[in-house]
Amino acid sequence: MKNKFLLWAASALFVITGCTTDVIVDEKPVTVNGRKITLTASMPNEASQTRLSLEQEAGTKNITVKWKAGDVVQFFFKQDATLVAGTPVTLAETDITMEGKKAAFSLEVPTEIDEQSAFTVYSLHGAEASVNGGKINANVSPVGFKPISELTDVPVAGKVEVAAGASAGDVPLAHLGVLHCLTIRNSAEAEWVVTPALDFVNAEDAWFYRPDVAGIPYYDLVGETVEFLPGTPLSPSAVTVPAGGSLQLVQWVMPNTNITPEIWLTAQLTGDINVVSSNSKPARSTALVKGRAYHLYALWEGTSLNFTDDTFTPPLAIDELTLSGDLMHAADGSGFIGVVYSKGDGKVYYNAAQTSGTWVGETDFGTGSEARVAVDRSDHPHVVFKTADNKIAYLRHNGTAWSSPVYIESNDAGACSKPDIDVDAGGNAHITYTDTRGQNGNYTDHPDIMYAVNSSGGFVKTVIHNGYYESYGGADAGADYFNKGSYISVDGVGNYYIIAHHYGFWKWMSGTDRTYSIAITTNSATGSSSVSSADLYDLYDLEFNGTEVVALYKDYTANRTATIEVSAATALFTNPQDIVTAVTPHGLSGTSSATLVAGLAASNLFTKYNTMENTESGVTVKTGTRVAAVNIGTDFFSVYTDNADSKIKILKIIIPL
């Protein structure tokens, strides 16, 4: 018989509070005796825990883990090219002391190992493992959610280098994974039989190792790497949440280095019916840390499933959210409304209202005004605004953080203002703005309408309309003025559309000819609205609805929407839809089958959904603020600042059946 080792190990404590990542505290002193060889093993300072029996610590959110009879620890011995498995050790009741806090293990060194030379001992608890090709492959497939009392595998592992003839050593044990802790409250009148799971909202990399087409994830204790090998994944079991009660569940997973993305809670019911939570948990800024527990709460109300806080308070609907600020603009993404606003301090701020019932969090962009926002197909917001020194600032969020601002400056020491932005399918920003000196000539300069795009990296600027006044001698003169800014939209194939207010005149000795209109410019065509000798025109917004580009503007005496059609080199407004109520429109949003216009009827909030016009007589919009129209799927909303309390609010449009 070779050396016989006696190993002592203490139990562990999961400290779980809130949604944060608290450490799991543990100590594992281990003594190994044979020929007077003693090994001690203990968890690191931010230790986690070992498998065993889990139970809630009274009066706290801590989960205590204790050794229990029947627990098995595996040992592996490596010496040069020799790698062999030792005999697994099973705990008996007599091996456990200090109310489950300590356990003693007795093991033998295999005959293949020369104890007179140095060797390495690997220990593993809580996962199946085998020796194959110089590797110790431990199955680290995730465990499905189950009650705490049923989780018997919380894998830990460690190793010790045993010197030739050494009489002592230390085995540092470490967690291989983390715990997802999910408490579900069932407020319905019937029990809920369900198989819960966490899944990412967008097509992103998984944040923990799980079976895929390549096989089952295995962690090599020697090389400390994960590979996927053929195997059959475990099927999670259903759990029963009692009517009017709660059930605390845990799931063990081995995290990878990916940042935890935005996640849904999915629930498979009987009969292969799936329920997805109405809200989501936002992406974390870091990856999961091994040895920690991550706590989540959810509420099942009989028909809807939601993430909540630990009070199980149902989340607010998105149209119940409010925010202090003076709205400048808003744009919609998948499950959120991004807003840009001021707070009376001359700065530009961004925030986003989520369908999960929370605000993302405020971002301060610094001093500026005239902000606009667009959201790309990856749900990343892009913001432009005028700076205090008359430049156009552009920022983009990449899903994790905002970029540093990029500044678009005047072509010739002029002043830039009135920006608008849209984003193409590739995430490139298309910006239109006014430059008082965008193009110079032998005439008197007036504001020019500009276009800038960053598809090649930096912004490339183009003059769309040249504003000027030129005298030709005597009484003869001509001019083009573009003084009301411009709006831009990009269609599904990347074509840009820009609308601008145009005032032109020719003057000669016997008279003056004045013309007013809304000018249309695309990358392949030009055109205009009707033309009048009186200034009866204005422009308010321009949007791509997934099929067509729709303009919101004033044409002669009518505020209206119209689609822009391009035929060869000619662009024109078609299918006009007039607004009957006397209003000042601000913005529009739409799909191929529905359009929402939002604005002001005097000082009251006004909306028009398709042909249905409505003035909210009880809602007064704060003077100097903007009203925006957005849609999330088939739900339409108007966003505004309420004069009563200076808060940004969201009004859901009641769509007639």
Structural contact between residues 433 and 421, judged by C-beta atoms closer than 8 angstroms: no
Per-residue tokens: 233:
């994944």
Task: Determine, yes or no, domain membership for 589.
Answer: no
Q: Are residues 468 and 542 in the same domain?
A: yes
Q: Are residues 198 and 227 in the same domain?
A: yes
Q: Are residues 300 and 251 in the same domain?
A: yes
Taking only the tens place, the pLDDT of each residue in 15-57 is 333 333 333 333 333 333 333 333 433 333 333 333 334 555 5
- Among 256, 274, 308, residue at a domain's last position: 308
Per-residue tokens: 542:
């321009």
* Mean pLDDT of all residues in 455-459: 95
* Residue 121 clears pLDDT 70, i.e. is over it: yes
Residue 8, pLDDT score: 44
Tell me the one-letter amino acid at 364: D
Q: What residues have CB less than 8 Å from 519, skipping those under 6 apart?
A: 465, 482, 499, 500, 501, 502, 526, 527, 528
End-to-end Cα, the chain, rounded Å: 84
pTM over 0.85: no
β-strand partners of 340: 329, 350
Q: Are residues 417 and 531 in the same domain?
A: yes
Q: Are residues 246 and 291 in the same domain?
A: yes
Structural contact between residues 337 and 353, judged by C-beta atoms closer than 8 angstroms: yes
Return phi, psi of residue 244, to 5°: 70, 10
Report the candidate in 105, 109, 84 with the shortest Cα–Cα distance to residue 95.
Answer: 105
CA–CA separation, 275 vs 267, rounded Å? 5
Q: Are residues 138 and 227 in the same domain?
A: no
Task: Determine, yes or no, domain membership for 402.
Answer: no
Taking only the tens place, the pLDDT of each residue in 611-654 is 999 999 999 999 999 999 999 999 999 999 999 999 999 999 99
Structural contact between residues 353 and 318, judged by C-beta atoms closer than 8 angstroms: yes
- Work out the pLDDT band at 235, boundaries 50, 70, 90: confident
Tell me the one-letter amino acid at 575: N
- Work out the pLDDT band at 130, boundaries 50, 70, 90: very high
The strand order across the sheet containing 392-396 reads 369-375, 381-386, 392-396, 406-408
- Among 552, 578, 604, residue at a domain's last position: 578
Q: Is 272 left (phi over 0), alpha (psi -120 to 50) or beta?
A: left
Would you give the DSSP letter of residue 203?
S
Residue 391, pLDDT score: 99
Q: Are residues 140 and 264 in the same domain?
A: no
Q: How far is CA 415 from the centre of its chain?
A: 36
pLDDT cut 90: percent of the chain above it: 67
* Mean pLDDT of all residues in 385-389: 99
CB atoms under 10 Å from CB of 425, counted, come to: 12
Would you give the DSSP letter of residue 282?
P
Q: Which one is predicted more confidently, 316 or 484?
A: 484
Q: What residues have CB less than 8 Å from 25, skipping those under 6 apart?
A: 12, 13, 15, 43, 47
Give the structural domain span for 413: 409-578
Task: Determine, yes or no, domain membership for 217.
Answer: yes
Report the candidate in 45, 7, 2 with the shortest Cα–Cα distance to residue 122.
Answer: 7
CA–CA separation, 549 vs 451, rounded Å? 17
Per-residue tokens: 70:
């029947």
Q: Are residues 549 and 518 in the same domain?
A: yes
- Work out the pLDDT band at 65, boundaries 50, 70, 90: low
Q: How far is CA 233 from the centre of its chain?
A: 29
Count of the separate structural domains present in the chain: 3
Tell me the one-letter amino acid at 491: D
Taking only the tens place, the pLDDT of each residue in 460-482 is 999 999 999 999 998 999 999 99
Residue 4, pLDDT score: 46
* Residue 500 clears pLDDT 80, i.e. is over it: yes
Task: Determine, yes or no, domain membership for 202.
Answer: yes
Taking only the tens place, the pLDDT of each residue in 145-189 is 999 888 877 888 988 888 886 655 566 778 899 999 999 999 999
Task: Determine, yes or no, domain membership for 127.
Answer: yes
Least confident of 14-18, 565-569, 584-588: 14-18
Residue 595, pLDDT score: 98
Task: Determine, yes or no, domain membership for 647.
Answer: no
* Mean pLDDT of all residues in 105-113: 81
Task: Determine, yes or no, domain membership for 185.
Answer: yes
Q: Are residues 303 and 189 in the same domain?
A: yes
- Our CA angle for 547, 551, 555, nearest 5°, is 145
Q: Are residues 505 and 429 in the same domain?
A: yes
Report the candidate in 595, 620, 590 with the shortest Cα–Cα distance to residue 608.
Answer: 595
* Residue 417 clears pLDDT 50, i.e. is over it: yes
* Residue 363 clears pLDDT 90, i.e. is over it: yes
pLDDT cut 70: percent of the chain above it: 86
Task: Determine, yes or no, domain membership for 534.
Answer: yes
* Cα distances (Å, whole numbers) of residue 466 to 23, 188, 479, 519, 571: 64, 66, 10, 12, 19
- DSSP-derived 3-state class of residue 623: coil
- Among 132, 156, 176, residue at a domain's last position: 176
- Our CA angle for 16, 19, 20, nearest 5°, is 70
Q: Are residues 141 and 223 in the same domain?
A: no
Residue 49, pLDDT score: 35
* Residue 365 clears pLDDT 80, i.e. is over it: yes
Least confident of 8-22, 132-146, 402-416, 489-503: 8-22
CA–CA separation, 299 vs 320, rounded Å? 19
CA–CA separation, 132 vs 113, rounded Å? 17
Q: Are residues 190 and 162 in the same domain?
A: no
Residue 66, pLDDT score: 67
